[in-house]
């Protein structure tokens, strides 16, 4: 008997992909476009996330951007690099956070974002496809309901 994969199981491959691209990372988080934690990989203690981290995350979600170095947040034991994930149409899908070892804290923001680029593009395609499928399913259910009424 096979079991239905959980959300973390489905995205576990992204964790491996991200770790391969940025081996200095302690963990990764993905917050959806509403700011809710959607997925995480090897996440250290959540209490290390500061008010500055949450404020920056909220600004990125609400405004849709927070360029460069403003999205590099020093934390107690690591540095958080927050990177937007956009759909194929440029719509905000969420924010990926890479928690990077202290030794790499001086890494330029854009360098980190560029390193993660292949995984971000793949994640964007995956999430965009899921959104298109959900929209199509809703549309079919709506139209199907019209015919049966």
Condensed to tens digits (0 to 9), the pLDDT of residues 109-132 reads 889 989 999 988 888 888 878 776
pLDDT for position 15: 83
DSSP 99-136: EEEGGGTTS-HHHHHHHHHHHHHHHHHHHHHHHHHHHH
Q: pTM of the entire structure?
A: 0.79
Q: Strands 72-74 and 92-101, how do they pair?
A: unpaired
Condensed to tens digits (0 to 9), the pLDDT of residues 9-45 reads 667 778 888 889 998 898 999 998 888 888 888 776 6
Cβ atoms of 95 and 30 closer than 8 Å: yes
Q: What letter would DSSP give residue 64?
A: S
Whether the pLDDT of residue 4 is over 90: the answer is: no
Query: Tokens representing 60?
Result: 């990125």
Sign of the Cα torsion 37, 12, 48, 118 reads: negative
Whether the pLDDT of residue 134 is over 90: the answer is: no
Q: What number does CATH give the domain 7-148?
A: 3.30.450.30
């Amino acid at each position: 008997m096979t079991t239905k994969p959980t959300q973390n199981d489905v995205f576990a491959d992204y964790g491996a992909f991200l770790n391969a691209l940025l081996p200095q990372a302690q963990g990764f988080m993905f917050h959806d476009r509403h700011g809710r934690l959607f997925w995480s990989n090897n996440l250290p203690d959540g209490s290390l996330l500061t008010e500055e981290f949450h404020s920056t995350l909220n600004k990125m979600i609400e405004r849709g951007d927070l360029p460069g170095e403003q999205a590099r947040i020093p934390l107690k034991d690591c540095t958080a690099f927050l990177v937007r994930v956009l759909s194929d149409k440029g719509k905000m899908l969420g924010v990926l956070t890479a928690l990077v070892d202290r030794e790499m804290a001086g890494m330029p923001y854009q360098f980190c974002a560029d390193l993660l680029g292949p995984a971000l593009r793949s994640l964007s395609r995956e999430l965009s496809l899921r959104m298109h499928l959900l929209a199509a399913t809703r549309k079919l259910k709506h139209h199907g309901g019209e015919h049966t009424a």
